[in-house]
Amino acid sequence: DTAVSQTPKYLVTQMGNDKSIKCEQNLGHDTMYWYKQDSKKFLKIMFSYNNKELIINETVPNRFSPKSPDKAHLNLHINSLELGDSAVYFCASSQVDRNYGYTFGSGTRLTVV
């Protein structure tokens, strides 16, 4: 039973396309996140949602739009993909107080060609 699952696992697409990545968690957590890990392996938070409400929005191009239909789901839509968007995108979730850390999905490897 996967705790945090994201799809697809791999995504290869052309520049200029629009794509979405989906994430679901069955841990009962109230908070969900999107992280980006670039080619230098640097893991950086992009967005955080608490019970469908956006609470962290780091400096991310507005081509990236998260959507949380309910507290168990957080999707990421990316418009007009650019070469620099190639990275691994991780979804994660945690309890509200974050005292017990964050549980990550297995990642979506996005390659823009």
Instruction: Single out the residue of 45, 71, 76, 84 in contact with other proteins (rule: CB under 8 A).
Output: 45
CA 61, 67, 73, 76 dihedral sign is negative
State which residue, 15 or 99, has the beta carbon closest to other proteins: 99
Asked if 31 and 94 count as a contact pair (C-beta separation under 8 A), the reply is yes
Instruction: Single out the residue of 1, 14, 28, 41 in contact with other proteins (rule: CB under 8 A).
Output: 41
Binding to other proteins (CB under 8 A) within 53-92 occurs at 55-56, 58, 90
Residue 1 makes contact with other proteins by CB under 8 A: no
In a 10 Å sphere around its CB, with 0-12 CB exposed, 13-18 middle and 19+ buried, how is residue 81 labelled?
buried
Residues that bind other proteins (CB under 8 A): 33, 35, 40-45, 48, 55-56, 58, 90, 96-107
